[in-house]
Each structure stands twice: as structure tokens, then as C-alpha cells.
Amino acid sequence: MAEPKSEVGFDAFQALDIRVGTITDARDFPEAHKPAYILTIDFGPELGTRTSSARITERYTKADLLGRQVAAVVNFPPKKIGPVRSECLVLGFSDERGRVVLVTPEKPVPNGGALH
């Protein structure tokens, strides 16, 4: 079992802007070093849509992803991953085989809703 990472203050945690959004597009990302999708996520009228690269091809098909709500950190600076500008970090956990399982709300919530 992995050891917990070093402690961070509550202020550092509160600095993360974690929001929910709906995946509106999922495309193959052939230029990625490891299999990945390019996701377009709608975070509602305040934030609009953002793009993210996600290595989730082992567990999800593109069709599985369309319309799915996911949690993401939206206040990291954009990161260039090959030709893609990743504008948010989609959150997930590894299952027993190392495949990413997305963090999703249990019931539908408005896009752009923040973590409480």
C-alpha cells in the first residue's frame, strides 16, 4: 500500500478550484505517448468549455464518455501536451489493474458546480 503524501495545509486545498462538467466531445489523441482521449468538457456559462487530455482508454470508450459528468481541477495553468492545450485536470482513481476510474457525481448536478 502506498504511503500518504506529505501533509498540506487546508488553505492549499481550498486553493484548488474543483468543478463538475459534462463531457461533450471525446476524440482519439494519436500523438499521445500513451493511449489517451482529448475531451471537451462543458463547465457551464461561468467557465465555458475546456479541453483536457485523459489516459482513460482502457476503461472507457468515446461513446461511454459523451454526456458523462466528471470532476476536474479548473485553475491549474494550461499545459501543452503535444499539439493539445490541456486546460483542466480531470480527476480519477486507479482500480486494481491500474485503469483510471473517473470521479463523477452520484446524481446530476449543474455544470460548473464547485466542490463543497
Domain 15-102: what homologous superfamily? Nucleic acid-binding proteins (2.40.50.140)
**Burial grade of 3 (CB within 10 A; 0-12, 13-18, 19 or more):** exposed
pLDDT digit string (tens) for 10-34? 888 888 999 999 999 999 999 988 9
Backbone dihedral region for residue 85 (phi beyond 0: left; psi -120 to 50: alpha; all else: beta): beta
The pLDDT, as a whole number, for residue 49 is 98
pTM, to two decimals: 0.92
pLDDT digit string (tens) for 61-81? 999 999 999 999 999 999 999
User: pLDDT exceeding 70 applies to what percent of the chain?
Assistant: 99
Neighbours of 91 (CB within 10 A): 16
- Residue 98's pLDDT band (boundaries 50, 70, 90)? very high
pLDDT digit string (tens) for 33-43? 899 999 999 99
Share of the chain residues as helix, strand and coil, in percent rounded to the nearest 5: 10, 35, 50
Q: What's the CA gap between 97 and 77, in Å, rounded?
A: 30
Identify the residue whose cell numbers are 484548488: 16
Whole-angstrom CA distances from 66 to 17, 26, 100 are 23, 7, 17
